[in-house]
Amino acid sequence: MPTTKKQKRKTTSAKQNGQYAAKDIEVLEGLEAVRRRPSMYIGGVDNRGLHHLLWEIVDNSVDEYLAGETDRIDVFLHKNGCSVSVCDYGRGIPVDKHPKIKKSALEVILTTLHAGGKFSDKNYARSGGLHGVGSSVVNALSSEMVATIHRDGSEWVQRYKRGKPTTPVKKVKPFRGHGTRIFFQPDIDIFKKTHFNAEIIRKHLEDISYIHGGLKIKFVDEVKKETVEFHHPEGIRAYLTKLTKEGEKQAVHEQPFETDKDDKNIKVECVLHWTEATDEQLRSYVNGIRTHAGGTHESGFRAGVAKAVKNYMETHNIKQKGLSISTEDIREGIVGVLSIFHGDPMFQGQTKEKLNNPEVSSFVDGLVRPALETWLNNNPTTADAIVGRIVLSARARAASRSAVKEVRRKSAGSRKTNLPGKLLDCRSTKPEESELFIVEGDSAGGTAAMGRNGKTQAVLPLRGKILNTESLNLTRVMQNQEIKDLTETLGTGIGDGFDIRKLRYHRIVLLMDADSDGYHISTLLLTFFFRHMREIIRQGRLYLAQPPLYRIKAGSSVMYAHDDAEKEEILAALPANRKVDVQRFKGLGEMDDEQLRETTLDPKKRILLRVDIDSLVEADITFSQLLGKDASERYRIIMEDASFADDVDL
């Protein structure tokens, strides 16, 4: 068979790269695979991955509670802020030798993947740490770990470094109690930053205390010298009250709907009510572990709610002429908590963010649908309020369709047609290399237009402060000209017609003045993207520019500082007798195009902050508190947190 030129190139390339043989196969022993590819086990080496290490150890202690062996857990954030300890008062990890491996069970569990006591229901009927991976992964990714075990009348200790034991399991002293204490410090060679966030820990532990009503959790912050204890015997009903209050969600009925069922292998608890909010907020848990990505339990819950409401409306012949009620209309405004306990949960990945058990969906649906339908029939006044809320949602959705269709019509056709006149578009038609800078005002827009790279960088100037979209429906939002211009520029559409695949720019940058007005406008834009184009944030397309606040000229050298601390650092490094000129930029308009290009637009020199959502619910609460209708909540935050502000721009 003749060899083509294309095949010849492939053959030559193979010879140049060497032969692929058995000697090229690597076998990673022990926990080396975890250190080589940590993201496969904890989802990433960012702040979220760092805290996930702690959640793994906490989950193991919670499993002792689920097994009925303890009712108390203590968590310590140590003085350096980079190390933590988790203590429970359960049975204590076994320390005797494993009959097959001939090592202490403690060492086996902490140094071997897929080793543990949760693969059957012999020791734990329901647990979160079912993969036998969590503790060993934490050990592998820690520069130091110390396991202290209390059992069999003694205290036992073993130390580890980067997943490897540095001491044998030692009997230290007699001890009458029982339990496990795990100390660890994440490895700086693995993680970008190793400082734990006390507030993230506090909120996570508080959430757990609601899901497990009988569990007492103490958190000791040695950095701030603060101790807080959580115990909520009333469980998820109290959790619902907390979420509603924090998120400023005004309920449309007084008593929430709640139901539960404990079968042989599955236990389900759920509570919900409808509020005046324009979105759905459902917190779901499996064996006490938060399932951020949902799963079959959430699918069953939503299906059950939708069927129950539709059946109720059909039974009572509740119809609205010319108006169809969708599942989205029914779900709008729901705030709920769903907690299930399963003897053999199938999670998607080690981070356990999504449940895959197919039988759970029908089980939850079969519980929620008849219980909710009965509850609606037994509470006609409450049912009327809920149905009225749903009809209102359907009307608003129908009214918004015309506005959405108008935007879609204007966005259709050629990439360069039907775009706002004030948009200074880039020449490239490739979204993957195109950037959109949303700037504040025509003055800054003009400077950005002159300083940009016209091939790949587009500029959209906004006039005045953008609309606060926090408490507005889509119909009202689309009446705002600035929002219309932005939506048409992005090309994705909005509402039911939103399509992320039509995004015209793969990097959207908010470029505002480095002062309080600029921060306010950025916050309003973030609110809009979070409420109406959240997928743009989820896909990592939204950024915040970091323009400098100061220009420092010393002789022929020019430096820029982004805040007062950086300015002082630069000045301190200069000779004492050096003549220095410091200019403070009051706004982007004070910078010329060359300065803006050099500091903020040039991809090789600029600083961009990508907008991420660590916790969807916490973000929802924060936006509601800062931009919602309740001014008293903002006042409370200002009064409580003002002391943490380093600088106030008046």
Question: CA torsion angle for 211, 212, 214, 218 (degrees, to 10)?
Answer: -100
Beta strands 507-511; 435-440: pairing state:
parallel
- The CA distance from 144 to 83, in Å, is 9
Catalytic residue among 269, 513, 598, 620: 513
- The CA distance from 173 to 166, in Å, is 20
Tell me the one-letter amino acid at 614.
D
Residue 330: both structure tokens together: 């029914």
CA count, 13 A, side-chain hemisphere, 507: 19
Residue 453: both structure tokens together: 């790279």
- The CA distance from 449 to 199, in Å, is 41
SS3 state at 170: strand
Catalytic residue among 32, 46, 71, 517: 517
CB 505 within 8 A of CB 434: yes
- The CA distance from 443 to 508, in Å, is 20
Beta strands 226-230; 257-262: pairing state:
unpaired
Residue 625: both structure tokens together: 């508190």
SS3 state at 75: strand
Q: According to the 3-state scheme, what is the secondary structure of 276-317? A: CCCCCEEEEEECCEECCCCEHHHHHHHHHHHHHHHHHHHHCC
CB 286 within 8 A of CB 338: no
- The CA distance from 559 to 608, in Å, is 18
- Could you tell me which of 495, 501, 544 has the C-alpha nearest to residue 519? 544
Q: According to the 3-state scheme, what is the secondary structure of 623-648? A: HHHHHCCCHHHHHHHHHHHHHHCCCC
> For residue 520, how many other CB atoms are within 10 A of its CB?
15
SS3 state at 99: coil
- The CA distance from 293 to 417, in Å, is 38
* 261: enclosing H helix or E strand: strand 257-262
Residue 397: C-alpha distances to residues 161, 278, 328, 401 (Å): 57, 11, 9, 6
Residue 394: both structure tokens together: 């359907």
- Could you tell me which of 161, 205, 169, 218 has the C-alpha nearest to residue 186? 161
- The CA distance from 34 to 113, in Å, is 9
* 323, β-bridge pairs: 320
- Could you tell me which of 538, 588, 541, 579 has the C-alpha nearest to residue 557? 579
- The CA distance from 219 to 212, in Å, is 16
CB 160 within 8 A of CB 140: no
Catalytic residue among 515, 563, 590, 633: 515
- The CA distance from 388 to 393, in Å, is 9
- The CA distance from 644 to 650, in Å, is 16
SS3 state at 148: strand
Residue 513 annotated to the active site: yes
CB 152 within 8 A of CB 196: no
Instruction: Tell me which residues are annotated as active site.
Output: 440, 513, 515, 517
